[in-house]
């Protein structure tokens, strides 16, 4: 029986306009009223999820956040954090070497400090690109909290003394299409996840949304069989595969769809709400075999 609903944010719970469809919001509220636990499972940090968990009312019940791709857990009811493995300074140096090899920007995420590692020419190209596109040079990482920092690093070996939660590699979709396999080979000591066409995330080995959900389930007296997980990208694949019911969005990557039990409509078409409604109507067995 499904007792826990876990949602990725970008491309899944959030529409293309970074909002929650009112019909989806209503479906999640019905699930809460039915006694289900809600988990936000995101690559974001806690402040980056605030605009989602506050409207969902997650602060007022036995609900959770699985942050930074599962590295950090937050229990709303107990107001407790649980931290998994982080990347060490020597990992940071290895990843900087890969950034230089492929001439790709690396964003080293250390708590609320985000360090941009990119060549001088790359920084100039990035500046032109952000002006043309009208997008923030910090990729929106500073949004939502006044104490976040986006810091430019010198383009040489830099030993970061803070814990590194994850590293994001940013480049064009065509670059990742061409170089993804080689990047994964060079970064074989880490979990390397394509979370968007222009965005790759590097995590400590074995730290994932799936491992976080397993901890949460056991904390509540359940197993992964009691979890329904929704996602769209490579950092969702393991939780989709290991959940009792994995649901991929219609807009999901092929790898996510292949890992899921069922594929629903897109994040702009109330795909989540449709599945939750079916679940609450007693159609769990049908969802397990991919029938909506």
Q: Find the CATH number of the domain harbouring 215.
A: 3.40.50.1000
Polymer length of the chain? 292
Q: pLDDT digit string (tens) for 77-113?
A: 999 999 999 999 999 999 999 999 999 999 999 999 9
Residues 116 and 144 in one domain: yes
The pLDDT of residue 82 is 97
Last residue within a domain, chosen from 169, 185, 204: 204
Q: pLDDT digit string (tens) for 129-155?
A: 899 999 899 999 998 778 899 999 999
Last residue within a domain, chosen from 148, 175, 204: 204
Residues 213 and 122 in one domain: no
Residues 240 and 151 in one domain: no
φ, ψ of residue 111 to 5 degrees: the values are 65, -125
| CB 125, CB 162: distance < 8 Å | no
Q: Rounded to whole angstroms, how far apart are CA atoms 157 and 213?
A: 36
- Does the pLDDT at position 7 exceed 80? yes
Last residue within a domain, chosen from 180, 204, 228: 204
Q: Rounded to whole angstroms, how far apart are CA atoms 62 and 64?
A: 7
Residues 216 and 156 in one domain: no
Residues 220 and 248 in one domain: yes
The pLDDT of residue 269 is 98
Read off the pTM.
0.94
Sheet with 105-110, strands from edge to edge, namely: 149-152, 113-117, 105-110, 166-170, 199-204, 190-196
Q: Rounded to whole angstroms, how far apart are CA atoms 71 and 103?
A: 27
What CA–CA distances, in Å, run from 136 to 17, 126, 129, 165, 265?
Answer: 16, 10, 10, 22, 30
Domain membership of residue 166 as a residue range: 89-204
Give the number of domains in the chain.
Answer: 2
Quick count: other Cβ atoms within 10 Å of Cβ 30?
15
The pLDDT of residue 87 is 98
Supply 179's token pair: 């170089």
Q: Which residue has the tokens 């990208």?
A: 233
Residues 212 and 192 in one domain: no
Supply 113's token pair: 């400090």
Residues 166 and 211 in one domain: no
Nearest to 180 by CA among 193, 191, 162, 164: 193
Indicate the pLDDT class of residue 26, thresholds 50, 70 and 90: very high
Residues 145 and 157 in one domain: yes
The pLDDT of residue 280 is 98
- Does the pLDDT at position 167 exceed 80? yes
The pLDDT of residue 145 is 78
Q: Rounded to whole angstroms, how far apart are CA atoms 78 and 63?
A: 10
Residues 196 and 108 in one domain: yes
């Amino acid at each position: 029986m499904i007792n826990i609903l876990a949602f990725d944010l970008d491309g899944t719970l959030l529409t293309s306009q970074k909002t929650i469809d009112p019909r989806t919001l209503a479906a999640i509220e019905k699930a809460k009223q039915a006694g289900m636990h809600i988990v936000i499972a995101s690559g974001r940090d806690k402040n980056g999820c605030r605009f989602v968990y506050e409207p969902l009312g997650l602060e007022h019940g036995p609900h959770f956040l699985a942050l930074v791709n599962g590295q950090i857990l937050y229990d709303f009811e107990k107001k407790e954090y649980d931290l998994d493995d982080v990347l060490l300074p020597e990992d940071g140096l290895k990843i900087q070497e890969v950034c230089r090899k492929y001439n790709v920007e690396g964003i080293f995420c250390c708590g609320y400090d985000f360090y941009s590692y990119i060549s001088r020419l790359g920084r100039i190209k990035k500046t032109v690109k952000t002006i043309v596109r009208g997008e923030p040079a910090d990729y929106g990482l500073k949004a939502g909290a006044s104490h976040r920092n986006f810091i430019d690093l010198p383009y040489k070996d830099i030993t970061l003394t803070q814990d590194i939660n994850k590293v994001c590699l940013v480049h064009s979709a065509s670059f990742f299409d061409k170089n993804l396999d080689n990047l994964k080979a060079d970064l074989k000591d880490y979990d390397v996840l394509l979370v968007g066409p222009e965005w790759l995330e590097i995590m400590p080995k074995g730290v994932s949304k799936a491992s976080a959900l397993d901890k949460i389930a056991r904390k509540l007296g359940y197993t992964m069989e009691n979890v329904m997980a929704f996602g769209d990208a490579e950092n969702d694949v393991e939780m989709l595969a290991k959940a009792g019911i994995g649901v991929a969005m219609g807009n999901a990557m092929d790898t996510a769809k292949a890992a899921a039990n069922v594929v629903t409509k897109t994040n702009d078409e109330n795909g989540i709400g449709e599945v939750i409604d079916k679940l609450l109507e007693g159609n769990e067995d049908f969802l397990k075999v991919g029938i909506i």
